[in-house]
Amino acid sequence: MSPRHRVVLTAMGIVSPIGNGLAATVDSLRGGRPGIGPVTSFDVSQSRSKTAGLVKDLREPKNRREARWHRASLMMAAALEELREADGAFVPEACVIGTTSGGMTFGEDFFRGRKTGNGSDRDAQWIANYPPQKAVLDTLDLAKWNVPVEIIANACASGTNAVGRAMSMIRHGLCRRVLCGGYDVISELVFMGFDCLQASTDELCRPFDKDRTGLVLGEGAALLALENRDDAMARGADIVCEISGYGISTDNHHLTQPHPSGIGPRMAMERALAVAGREAAAVDYVNAHGTATVFNDGSEGAAITELCPGVAVSSTKALTGHTLGAAGAIEAVFCGLAIREGFLPPNGNFREADPAWQMDIVANVSREKALRCVLSNSFGFGGTNASIVMEAVA
Amino acid sequence: MKLEAAITGRAWVTPLGSDLAAVSAQIDAGVPGEIELVQDPLAKRPLRLMRVPSGLVAEVSRLPRLRRSSAISLYAVEAALRAVEMAGSAVGRTAVIVAVSSASVVYTHRFYRRIVEEGARGASPALFPETVHNAPASHVAAALGIDGASYTLVGDGTVGFSALHMAAGLLRMDEADRCVVVGAEEVDVITAEAYRTWRFGGVYSEGAGAVVLERAGGLKITTHPGTPFTTRTAAAAALDNVLDVMEAEPDLVVYGASAGEIGRLEQRELAARGLLGVSLRQSLGDALGAASLFQIIQAVNRLDSGKRALVCGLGINLQAGAAALYAES
């Protein structure tokens, strides 16, 4: 049995539809301001959904090399710069990043070029940017960090898997410091995919609402600096919170639908709490996966109701859209901010509670509350489920 | 940080077949895989592909959950089930880790082609779920009845080494008692054309390799997390970094996950260390997501008791990776 070390979060960086940077993010979360707007980068005239959470005012390329970068690389670079500004002494030993579609927009461009006959062998640039690892390597290169990289593609759970995996590596002494996070960029293929499954809505995203009609997609990137707590304290690092638990489960019910009983989400949450050594009653707040689809919210709502009835719950996806592989990392940053600043992020566009569940939905308006123990959930296609426990440091 | 584990089961689905001994013997004899020359409107020149014979996955393709799945999932499930069969009954928690490079590219291509041709109304709900990178891992988990950890790792031809290292870590951290590690790839003209454009220079191939890792009980494996590089000039240093900490005097070396300039660089570096051994490329092509697992399995097939092997690779756009094997006397 390997030793157990406590793991803390010392710095974060974020780019999301509700703001670039932590300060803008806190303002938007406290004010319940959404970042959803019309999709203009491809034709959505025939699709059911026409909106998404889009990153605005993204940092410009700073040199010729960056000018060739993928949008995801620029998002990741912005997140990294903020993280390093907060903790310039953090140097990771490994990097774990979640994503679902990587540089899919480059793949789309390549295909269209070949299909129309307008492509050329210079299209190698597109392909160089297509692999999901490209944005990650660009980011690490900025900081001159030559460390082992794991790119986790566990669908929409990827970001939480990345944070949880990083936590586990430090907890068990495989590493002392790990950079983790997630990213995804809106692409036509993925947008049309959710649209054709009728998982996307043509109106507002209303997580956990009785009359919810589906999700709105989003994009963004977030990075988190995780470190062995003793090391962080010894160097006087600013500790945001502790990451104390991680649970993963697989629900083999269906490739795109969770088991309605909520068994998959429940196992992930129970396992995360067990690692943290916490009872469910200790949880002050759940940042839910909460995509606002009938099936996801049904399964997650049932699981939360069974595990910790009456707990404060919100899904921030009404504000950001569902940022897929980035979602878990973005929401881990939201939870870190909520713990540090003492508030509950709101569940936007909420009208009426579904009577099937006992949850205290943080409806539309943020609440001031000191938080000690928080669960953050992410669930994905393929029946993959992940939860992390984040706690205030006494 | 290197980690240790034991390989207790293995299986593969390759362009040369799926019988461990027969394919292994063909590789030793230098039997080349059959190269299919494909003309396609999307490709500016004929493409060279090496495919898995469809009959190898006929049985798993009849499983209800796999009736509409992409070829990569069929290869992954077939290899995983046979590797687990070799390892014997599971004790405790089993985790699944699937390494992919292009993932379910056949369905991705098909799905997007219809969007381009017909607009949103061409988007098929039957195809989209199978385009998700972790679809093969999901099918493997379902076939094995696993409700625990399931991961999909994405990378280049060395991603399988990363998956093996992750598995050894899960065992070390007591997060699993057994890990089924699968590396899988499926060929498609769009990916083949992309790699041709990128001057890849190889024969793009497909299949899956699977190994079962446990804490003890089989052939010992030492894993390495890999070293990334972003320029070709940094690739040699990355490979040096990996080789410096792995097996220094192996009895067997299985190298070569990639073709083209990076592959030649790998050969030069290994030759300079006196480590140039055997490559599977002539027989099995460049199978990217499956490549590292193919290498590992061939090394296990050929490792005599008391001997040591080094298995390594230099990927085309991510990292240098390696693992060392030791067959106890």
Closest CB from B116, B132, B155 relative to A133 = B155
Name the closest residue on chain A to residue B130, using Cα atoms.
Answer: A255
CATH code of the domain covering residue A125: 3.40.47.10
Q: Kindly state whether residue A2 falls inside one of the protein's structural domains.
A: no
User: Hey, what's the torsion of the CAs at A333, A337, A340, A346, to 10 degrees?
Assistant: -130
- The per-residue pLDDT string of chain A (394 residues; one tens digit each, 9 = 90 and over) reads 556 999 999 999 999 999 999 999 999 999 999 999 999 999 999 999 999 999 999 999 999 989 888 899 999 999 999 999 999 999 999 999 999 988 888 899 899 988 888 777 667 777 778 889 989 999 999 999 999 999 999 999 999 999 999 999 999 999 999 999 999 999 999 999 999 999 999 999 999 999 999 999 999 999 999 999 999 999 999 999 999 999 999 988 888 888 889 999 999 999 999 999 999 999 999 999 999 999 999 999 999 999 999 999 999 999 999 999 999 999 999 999 999 999 999 999 999 999 999 999 999 999 999 999 999 999 999 899 999 999 999 7
For B40, other C-beta atoms within 10 Å of its C-beta total 14
**Chain A closest CA to B172's CA: distance in Å?**
7
B169 vs A174: CB contact, 8 Å cut-off? yes
Structurally, how many domains does chain A consist of? Answer: 1
Q: Kindly state whether residue A97 falls inside one of the protein's structural domains.
A: yes
B317 vs A155: CB contact, 8 Å cut-off? no
Domain ranges of chain B: 3-217, 222-326
Averages of pLDDT over each 10 residues, chain B, 329 residues: 96 98 97 95 93 95 93 98 94 94 95 96 95 96 95 95 98 97 97 85 94 95 93 88 89 86 90 92 95 97 95 88 91
Name the closest residue on chain A to residue B153, using Cα atoms.
Answer: A152
Q: Does A259 participate in catalysis according to the annotation?
A: no
Closest CB from A114, A141, A150 relative to B162 = A150
**Chain A closest CA to B223's CA: distance in Å?**
13
Query: Beta B219-223 vs B319-326: how paired, if at all?
Result: antiparallel
Name the closest residue on chain A to residue B102, using Cα atoms.
Answer: A131
Mutate: best of B65, B67, B112, partner A, most A CBs <10 A: B112
**Chain B closest CA to A31's CA: distance in Å?**
35
What is residue B232's predicted lDDT score, i.e. its pLDDT?
Answer: 78
Closest among B89, B72, B64 to B13, alpha carbons compared:
B72
Name the closest residue on chain A to residue B199, using Cα atoms.
Answer: A124
What is residue A367's predicted lDDT score, i.e. its pLDDT?
Answer: 98
Per-residue burial over A108-120, b if 16 or more Cβ lie within 10 Å, else e, is bbbbebbbeeebe
Contacts of A336 (CB under 8 A, 6+ apart): A9, A12, A224, A240, A241, A390
Residues of B in contact with A112 (CB under 8 A): 116
| DSSP string computed for B248-272 | SS-SEEEE----HHHHHHHHHHHHH
Q: Kindly state whether residue A143 falls inside one of the protein's structural domains.
A: yes
Which amino acid is located at A136 in the chain? V
| Whether A182 contacts A222, CB under 8 Å | yes
CATH topology match: B3-217 vs B222-326: yes
A250 vs B148: CB contact, 8 Å cut-off? yes
Q: What HEC string does chain A produce?
A: CCCCCCEEEEEEEEEECCEECHHHHHHHHHHCCCCEEECCCCCCCCCCCCEEECCCCCCCCCCHHHHCCCHHHHHHHHHHHHHHHHCCCCCCCEEEEECCCCCHHHHHHHHHHHHHCCCCHHHHHHHHHCCCHHHHHHHHHHCCCCCCEEEECCHHHHHHHHHHHHHHHHHCCCCCEEEEEEEECCCHHHHHHHHHCCCECCCCCCCCECCCCCECEECEEEEEEEEEHHHHHHCCCCCCEEEEEEEEEECCCCCCCCCCCCHHHHHHHHHHHHHHCCCHHHCCEEECCCCCCHHHHHHHHHHHHHHCCCCEEECCHHHHCECHHHHHHHHHHHHHHHHHHCEECCECCCCCECCCCCCEECECCCEECCCCEEEEEEEEHHHEEEEEEEECCC
Q: Interface pTM (ipTM) of the complex?
A: 0.97
What is residue A122's predicted lDDT score, i.e. its pLDDT?
Answer: 66
Name the closest residue on chain B to residue A121, using Cα atoms.
Answer: B197
What is residue A278's predicted lDDT score, i.e. its pLDDT?
Answer: 98
Q: Kindly state whether residue A185 falls inside one of the protein's structural domains.
A: yes
**What are the pLDDT digits (tens) for B170-229?**
999 999 999 999 999 999 999 999 988 877 778 999 999 999 999 999 899 999 999 999
Q: Which two tokens stand for residue A4?
A: 């157990």
Q: Kind and range of the H or E element at B209?
A: strand B207-214
A149 vs B228: CB contact, 8 Å cut-off? yes
A127 vs B174: CB contact, 8 Å cut-off? no
Check A180, A289, A308, A335 and give the catalytic one: A289
Q: Report the C-alpha gap between A205 and A218 in whole angstroms.
A: 11
| Whether A312 contacts A360, CB under 8 Å | yes
For B285, other C-beta atoms within 10 Å of its C-beta total 31
Per-residue burial over B135-145, b if 16 or more Cβ lie within 10 Å, else e, is bbbbbbbbbbe
A196 vs B152: CB contact, 8 Å cut-off? no
A92 touches chain B (CB under 8 A): no
Residues of B in contact with A135 (CB under 8 A): none
What is residue A3's predicted lDDT score, i.e. its pLDDT?
Answer: 60
Mutate: best of A66, A97, A133, A188, partner B, most B CBs <10 A: A133
B120 vs A195: CB contact, 8 Å cut-off? yes
Kindly give the interhelix angle for A104-116 and A188-196, rounded to the nearest 10 degrees.
Answer: 100
| Whether A361 contacts A313, CB under 8 Å | yes
Per-residue burial over B77-114, b if 16 or more Cβ lie within 10 Å, else e, is bbbbbbbbebbeebeebbbbbbbbbbbbbbbbbbbbbb
Mutate: best of B40, B97, B128, B319, partner A, most A CBs <10 A: B128
Check A95, A241, A259, A322 and give the catalytic one: A322
Residues of A in contact with B121 (CB under 8 A): 46
A169 touches chain B (CB under 8 A): yes
| Whether B195 contacts B259, CB under 8 Å | no
Q: Kindly state whether residue A160 falls inside one of the protein's structural domains.
A: yes
Q: Report the C-alpha gap between B269 and B66 in whole angstroms.
A: 43
**Chain B closest CA to A151's CA: distance in Å?**
5
Q: Which two tokens stand for residue A187?
A: 């692409």
Name the closest residue on chain A to residue B171, using Cα atoms.
Answer: A1
What is residue A255's predicted lDDT score, i.e. its pLDDT?
Answer: 81
**Chain A closest CA to B281's CA: distance in Å?**
22
What is residue B257's predicted lDDT score, i.e. its pLDDT?
Answer: 61
**Chain B closest CA to A56's CA: distance in Å?**
25
How many inter-chain contacts (A to B, CB under 8 Å) are there? Answer: 209
Q: Report the C-alpha gap between B243 and B28 in whole angstroms.
A: 24
Identify the residue whose tokens are 């959710």: A194
Q: Does A289 participate in catalysis according to the annotation?
A: yes
Name the closest residue on chain B to residue A271, using Cα atoms.
Answer: B148
Query: Beta A367-368 vs B308-314: how paired, if at all?
Result: unpaired
**What are the pLDDT digits (tens) for B82-97?**
999 999 987 789 999 9
As to burial, measured by CB atoms within 10 angstroms (0-12 exposed, 13-18 middle, 19+ buried), residue B271 is: exposed
| Whether B90 contacts B178, CB under 8 Å | yes
What is residue B259's predicted lDDT score, i.e. its pLDDT?
Answer: 75
Closest CB from A127, A194, A384 relative to B197 = A127
What is residue B248's predicted lDDT score, i.e. its pLDDT?
Answer: 78
| Whether A361 contacts A286, CB under 8 Å | no
Closest CB from A138, A150, A264 relative to B166 = A150
Q: Report the C-alpha gap between B23 and B13 in whole angstroms.
A: 10
The listed CATH number (3.40.47.10, 1.10.1040.10, 3.40.309.10, 3.90.650.10) that belongs to domain B222-326: 3.40.47.10
Residue-range definition of the domain harbouring residue A167: 7-391
Closest among B28, B49, B50, B51 to B40, alpha carbons compared:
B49
| Whether A49 contacts A214, CB under 8 Å | yes
Q: Is B166 helix (H, G, I), strand (E, B) or coil?
A: helix
Check A156, A175, A180, A205 and give the catalytic one: A156
What homologous superfamily is domain B3-217 in, according to CATH? Thiolase/Chalcone synthase (3.40.47.10)
Q: Does A253 participate in catalysis according to the annotation?
A: no
